[in-house]
Amino acid sequence: MLVLALDTATTVVTAGLVELPGSPGEAPVTLAARAHDGRRHGELLMPAVRALCAETGRDLAEVDAVVVGAGPGPFTGLRVGIVSAAALGDALGVPVHGVCSHDAIAWAVPVPEGSDPRDPGNLLVATDARRREVYWALYDPTDPQVRRISGPSVEAPESLGQRLGELGVGAVAGDPAFADRLGVAITGPSAPAPDGLVAVAAADLRAGRAPAPVEPLYLRRPDAEEPTGRKRVTA
């Protein structure tokens, strides 16, 4: 099964063509990928998709499904990926599966070296939420499916950093810019990779399950809001 994977939930614009084997025991294989570090999501995403097709010699018409990161992420960037995925799915007549972007990051993080394999501690994934906050989610890395324990949520990193012990955190992945404010080293990927996005949706893809409508995980209201009334300019 050929899957197009997209994510614009972070500052990294991710696109990839991924081959998903039919056996549940086989991991997705990325045929080609593009990851642009920048905030020009609308300008970078579709050229990246065209580049993938050129690199692999595959046509978009060969794609069997689309998987898109549904966040959490800032409003403007996140909707670029979701709208693009929906448009491609409609044009190609293929299903569009939305997945939590943090789940895809967690899938790619190995159990830390030197940790107790029976209890390595929980994995925290933290990404930039703007407004001096982070989006975060907590995972059990010993679970074969990297089960999400808590989140996604949004919080000030200093507040979250004070609760790492309470949350049983053994490792942190995500945006390294928040290491100082969380008070802990951040390792692992800072953005989802195409194979991770597909891995999260693999069971549904293999079973041919119809996806639910993709719901973006904004976790808070957008900065811009529609005016509710006019201000009076006269007494």
Which residue, 207, 8, 187, 10, is CA-closest to 106?
187
Angle between helical axes of 75-92 and 41-56 (0-180°, round to 10):
40
What domains appear along the chain, each with residue ranges and CATH number?
A: 2-102+192-207 (3.30.420.40), 109-182 (3.30.420.200)
The pLDDT profile of the chain, 235 residues, written as one tens digit per residue, is: 999 999 999 989 999 999 999 999 899 999 999 998 766 777 889 999 999 999 999 999 999 999 999 999 998 889 999 999 999 999 999 999 999 999 999 999 986 555 555 567 999 999 999 989 999 999 998 888 889 999 999 999 999 999 999 999 999 999 999 999 999 999 889 999 999 999 999 999 999 999 999 999 999 755 445 555 555 556 5
Task: Measure the CA–CA gap between 191 and 213, rounded to whole angstroms.
Answer: 23
pTM: 0.90
Could you give the residue ranges of the DSSP H alpha helices within the chain? Answer: 41-56, 75-92, 101-107, 157-161, 179-182, 194-207
Cβ-contact 134, 157 below 8 angstroms: yes
